[in-house]
Structures are given as C-alpha cells and as structure tokens.
C-alpha cells in the first residue's frame, strides 16, 4: 500500500493530467456525436494511447535525436514502424478482443482507408504530444545540468575564497610565529646578561634553554631530515641543562656509536626520548642509571632508551609523545621503521630500528 501511495504522490501530475484529458475527450466527443463507447473499450484504447505516448517520449525520440544528422532517416523509419505496430494492436483489440462491442459499426472496423486514417489521427495526436513532452524533458535536463555547473562553479569559487582566507591566515600565523620567538629570545638574552655576573651557572642554563628552543622552532621549517650531529648536540645541551637543577650528578648515559653524526634522520626523535626520561623516568639513582643510546650497523639505525619509570608521572602524556614519534616514523619511513616500547624487568624500554637507504 505504501508503494502505491508513494507512486501516486510521485506521479500525481501525470495522473491528474491524463485523468483530465480523458474525461474531457470522452464527454466532448460523446456529447458532440451523441455516441458513447463502453467502459472496456475506453480503458483498453486509452491504455494503448498512453503506452504509445511514453514509448515515443522515453525510448523512440531519444534514439532518433541522439545524433545531430541521423534523425533525418531515423524519424520516418522509426515513426512509420511505431505507427504500423500501433495500427495492428488497435485492429486486434477492436476485432478480436472487443469483438465489435463498441459504438462503431462493423463497416468502420474493417481495415480500410477510413479505419487507417482514424488510427493515424490518434497516433499523430499522441506521438506529437510525446514529442513536445520529450523536448520538455530535454530542456529540463539542460536546466539541471546548467544549474549543477553553476553550483559547482559557485562551490569552486567558495573553496577558492576559503583557501585564500586560510592562506592569509597562515601567512599571519607565520609572521606571528617569527615575531613571538624573536621577542622571547631577546628576553632570554636580556636575562642572560643580567644574571651572568651574579650566577654564571644559571646564565649558562638560560642560554642553553634558548638554544634548545631555537632548534625546536627551526625544525618546523627545515627539511624532512637533518644530520644526526645537530640533534646529538641538542640532546647533550638538554642533559647539561637538567644537570644544573640538581646538586648530585645525573645517573644518565648518552651513548653515540661511530659514524652516525652525518647520517640524516628526522628531527626531534632523540630529544623527545631524552625529555621523556627527564619527565617520566628516574635519572638520579646510581643503582639504576637511565640510558639513551644510538648506533648504526648494517644499514640499520638503532635507538634505545632505558630507565626506571617514575610512578608519580602521568603515563598518558608519555604515551602521547611516543605515539607522535611512531606516527612520524611511519610517515617518513613506512615499513622500514619499527618501534616497540613497554615495561621489561621493571625498566621502561624503548627500541627503534630504521633502515636507512
């Protein structure tokens, strides 16, 4: 029932149009001639006429006019064939199905010129109306195509303006990113000059912090890989910076293998691992020293980190930083990089192996 209601709702204009046309034609012709046919005759003939209409509009004419020149011979050929089929169906209906049970006389049902001309008139009426309906569908399709093209053009224009706005925003952000660090580095320089005489150790820590921050910012605008010696230097500076915070010596070893300084690698991996040790690990216990090591052997770069975990630290923050490293390794090296981390014999261990071509 729902399908029928949906069909009626969707095709209501066609249904209303055909109902109005059929009723008007029946009553006008009936009252003007004084003759009415039986219901069965009306139903069958109007079904044939409606089928002829939609056959021409949706099947015949699209094939006739699909080429700019072929319609010259396709139209009379297909039109003539369609009329002959329509004539034959009408004759079968009138002489075999209805069996002369109509308001027409037997003579009028014989296959003569009057019968053929009568059927031709009906065929021309519905085939002509179908042609106008087909042209309306073509026009409607062209309108929809034009509207779609206009919408697409409008969306492209919106996207272009949005992209220009984002580009302008990025430019402003880039300029701010240049200005803000510049002010910060100037401020750190002033602090360094002020405390250098009274506290050389603290002044050196400020300068080391400034170098570390400058390195981190520069890495955002540098190439995808840099020589490892640059990051090794920064890791040593980071260890030196933290050593100024404590009176006792740090229990942290940073080991670098031979021949690795000129190997190019993505930045901020070593320094992030070192920061994790200082933030989430124990590095002041001589009985359980922390370790960060990097070596190169047989085309494989190996990075290892090992420390006792600090139970007071927030593990979720640590895992976020490590997952960031994993994602960057995957983007830069794909399947050539492997990273594993977890607790082993009470130590938190990280192991990274990357094949360097």
Per the listing, tokens 């992030």 go with: 272
Quote the CA–CA distance of 74 and 64 in Å, as a whole number. 5
Q: Are 237 and 276 in contact (CB under 8 A)?
A: no
Quick: pLDDT tens for 99-117. Answer: 655 545 544 566 777 888 8
pLDDT digits (tens, 9 = 90+) for 54-109: 999 999 888 888 877 788 888 888 888 888 998 888 888 888 777 655 545 544 56
Tell me the pTM: 0.48
pLDDT digits (tens, 9 = 90+) for 9-49: 888 888 888 888 888 888 888 888 877 878 888 888 889 99
What is the rounded distance in angstroms from the CA atom of residue 292 to the CA atom of residue 302? 11
What is the structure's pLDDT at 183?
55
How would you write 239-286 as a 3-class SS string?
HHHHHCCCCCCCCEEEEECCCCCCCEECCCCHHHHHHHHHHHEECCCC
Mean pLDDT of the 309-329 span: 77
Instruction: Give the residue with greater pLDDT, 53 vs 188.
Output: 53
Separation CA 304–CA 267 (nearest Å): 16
Which of 144-158, 185-199, 264-278, 291-305 bottoms out in mean pLDDT, i.e. has the lowest?
185-199
pLDDT band at 340 (very low <50, low <70, confident <90, very high): very high
Q: What burial class does residue 212 get, using C-beta atoms within 10 Å of its C-beta: 0-12 exposed, 13-18 middle, 19+ buried?
A: middle
Q: CA–CA separation, 103 vs 187, rounded Å?
A: 108
Give CA torsion, residues 191, 195, 196, 197, to 10 deg.
150
CB contact at 8 A, 291 and 304: yes
pLDDT average, residue stretch 277-290: 88
Burial (CB count within 10 angstroms: exposed 0-12, middle 13-18, buried 19+), residue 83: middle
| Structure confidence at residue 338 (pLDDT) | 95
Looking at residue 106, its pLDDT comes to: 46
pLDDT of residue 103: 46
Could you tell me whether strands 252-256 and 290-297 are parallel, antiparallel, or unpaired per DSSP bridges? parallel
206 vs 325, which has greater pLDDT?
325
């Amino acid at each position: 029932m729902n399908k029928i209601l949906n069909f009626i709702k969707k095709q209501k204009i066609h249904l209303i149009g055909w109902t109005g046309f059929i009723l008007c034609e029946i009553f006008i012709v009936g009252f003007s001639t004084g003759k009415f046919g039986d219901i069965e005759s009306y139903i069958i003939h109007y079904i044939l006429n409606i089928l002829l209409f939609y056959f021409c509009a949706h099947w015949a004419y699209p094939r006739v006019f699909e080429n700019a020149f072929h319609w010259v011979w396709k139209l009379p050929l297909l039109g003539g064939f369609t009329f002959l089929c329509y004539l034959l169906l009408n004759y079968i209906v009138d002489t075999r199905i209805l069996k002369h049970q109509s308001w027409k006389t037997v003579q009028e049902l014989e296959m003569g010129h009057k019968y053929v001309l009568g059927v031709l008139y009906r065929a021309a009426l519905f085939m002509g109306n179908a042609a106008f309906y087909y042209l309306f569908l073509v026009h409607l399709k062209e309108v929809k195509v034009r509207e779609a093209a206009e919408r697409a053009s409008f969306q492209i224009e919106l996207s272009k303006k949005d992209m220009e706005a984002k580009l302008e925003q990025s430019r402003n952000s880039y300029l701010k990113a240049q200005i803000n660090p510049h002010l910060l580095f100037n401020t750190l320089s002033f602090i360094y000059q002020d405390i250098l005489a009274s506290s050389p150790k603290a002044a050196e820590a400020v300068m080391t912090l400034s170098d570390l921050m400058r390195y981190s910012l520069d890495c955002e605008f540098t190439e995808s890989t840099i020589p490892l010696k640059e990051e090794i230097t920064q890791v040593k500076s980071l260890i030196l910076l933290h050593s100024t915070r404590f009176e006792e010596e740090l229990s942290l070893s940073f080991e670098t293998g031979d021949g690795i300084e000129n190997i190019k690698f993505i930045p901020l991996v070593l320094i992030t691992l070192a920061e994790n040790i200082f933030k989430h690990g124990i590095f002041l216990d001589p009985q359980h020293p922390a370790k960060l090591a990097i070596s190169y052997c047989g085309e494989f770069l190996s990075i290892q980190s090992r420390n006792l975990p600090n139970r007071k630290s927030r593990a979720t923050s640590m895992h976020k930083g490590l997952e960031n490293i994993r994602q960057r390794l995957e983007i830069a090296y794909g399947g050539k990089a492997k990273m594993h981390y977890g607790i082993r014999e009470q130590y938190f261990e990280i192991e990274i192996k990357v094949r360097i071509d």
